[in-house]
Chain A
Amino acid sequence: DAGVTQSPTHLIKTRGQQVTLRCSPKSGHDTVSWYQQALGQGPQFIFQYYEEEERQRGNFPDRFSGHQFPNYSSELNVNALLLGDSALYLCASRFGENTIYFGEGSWLTVV
């Protein structure tokens, strides 16, 4: 058990809608990042949060936004959903210098 919890585990949305995914990092972990994993592919880095600020962003449009709260938990928001946004969304947290743990993910289906 990596200790990174995500919710919801599964959800279905309609094209054009908005979605919010939530993540609680492993206890003591202060850095949170989000990844998108399409079926049959490796995870792709969306962005990272540290000290409640977005520190770096991958190649994703502004429709993808996030937030980190003082307790280190985080949200991923996706606006104007497209069919291509259907994927497993993973949250990862880090403590110390190196070790990065992933949660079980939130499965998003856009219809």
Chain B
Amino acid sequence: QQQVKQSPQSLIVQKGGIPIINCAYENTAFDYFPWYQQFPGKGPALLIAIRPDVSEKKEGRFTISFNKSAKQFSLHIMDSQPGDSATYFCAARWGYGGATNKLIFGTGTLLAVQP
């Protein structure tokens, strides 16, 4: 099943809060899990990514937690700022067939950080 489920659909937090976005997958053929940030009218910008043999990765204020046995991963944004207000997509790379650019995207989470 080439599907990635993402929740919540939308999220509102206060400045300084820690929004958490969750994703789940079923197929173990996925071998790389990036998160993208997208502003209106722009293309997706790579935020952070993780491989399934790593349980946590931090880059700046962004942290990915990965639970391989549960087939779940999540994005945490520390000390969130109004400038973080955007749509966030999780994705999973389909590792079969040599198509190493084939990403399956979640449905997106619209994040609003209030001042």
Contact = CB atoms under 8 A, between A and B. Distances in A.
Given A101-B46, A102-B43, A104-B43, A55 B106 contact: no
Contacts of A4: 43
Interface of A: 2, 4, 31-33, 35, 40-45, 48, 55-56, 58, 88, 90, 92-94, 97-105
A33 B32 CA distance: 16
A41 B43 CA distance: 13
Given A33-B101, A94-B100, A41 B45 contact: no
A78 to B, nearest CB: 18
Contacts of A92: 101, 103
A31 B99 CA distance: 10
B101 A48 contact: yes
Interface in B82-96: 89, 91, 93
Contact of B108 (A42, A97, A103): A42
Main secondary structure, interface of A, reads strand
Contacts of B108: 40-42
A55 B89 contact: no
A32 B108 CA distance: 23
Contacts of A90: 43-44
